Structure 1
Amino acid sequence: MHRVHPDEQVFTVAGRIGGEGDAKGAYVIANSPEELVDRFRDWGFEVTSVASLADVRHSLQILEAIATQSTEIGPEEFLDLLPATAGERRPSSTVFTFIGQYAKTIETSVLLAGFGTAINSSELSGHLRSLGFDVLSVMSLSEAIELQAEMELVACDAYSDDTHLVNLKEV
């Protein structure tokens, strides 16, 4: 497929309408993440997370390195709640990236991202919460692979679900 939009202009976004209710998500084509956040704010949508296709690709490289136990990623660089036998590949469903913030810090605390392994996302989230970390999202390696595939369709103008796609270049 022919790529129409660069990786840095294809985004996945999540947030809430009016800052309340259930989280909603979409794919967005925009010149920058700042443009995306500003435009969505004007529409009354509070963005809680945004990542470009380039960001997703980078995270996938790290997740894959953790899954294969590559020496590129040291044990101090991720939270390992599910240690693996040396040389053993971790299942894609047990390697995660997460986003959140420390719950008991200043009101405008910054979002932090990290990586970890666990039997499932609930175990990882629960452990992080026990440390005072407010988890906003968790995504497994297998989910990230699916996300990248869908975002690549968006980059090629081949994504067929128009109800979950916003092209700010055409608005």
Structure 2
Amino acid sequence: GEDGPSGTEGPGTAPQWWSQNSPGVPGAGELDDSWGNELSVADVDGDGRADVAVGAPGEDADGEAAAGAVSLLRGSQAGLTGTGSQYFDQNTPGIPGTAEAGDGWGAQVRLVDTAGDGRAELVAAAPEENAGDGAVWVLPASGSGLLADGSRSYGAAALGGNAHGAHFGSVIDE
């Protein structure tokens, strides 16, 4: 329509609009957070319902401007919900590294079932990590959502590439 997408797929299906100010969503919407800059949809907890990873590369983390963050909104029988949402940044215990100004963690996010167990892990990138070298993190999935514990990070050098100025993770195809 002229007012934008209708969001309807049948009788009684209304569009849902989400922001960091939506009920149950961690954090608060602020100028330049870029919340929703990147999205990925898959079943994280194996309950058969789609969950949504939301990148916010401009999010401040513990006073570090544009360090970046990723939120996970949960799927429910009634659709997407803020209940049980999760929030991660590089200062979340268990996630390798430290949030630094300008990292842009969450500039790329993908939910991918790499283990073939019906639960999608999170792949999150910070292309500006370490002065533009870039890195990618993998957070494991569980029946209760994503886990910081057991997460790991990779740069281009770990995969045999040239790390300096690579902006590794700038693009993660789905």
Q: Same fold (TM over 0.5)?
A: no
Relative contact order higher in (CA < 8 Å, ≥ 6 apart): 1
Higher helix share: 1
Instruction: Give me the TM-score of the superposition, normalised by structure 1.
Output: 0.25
Higher alpha-carbon Rg: 1
> Normalization by structure 2: what TM-score?
0.25
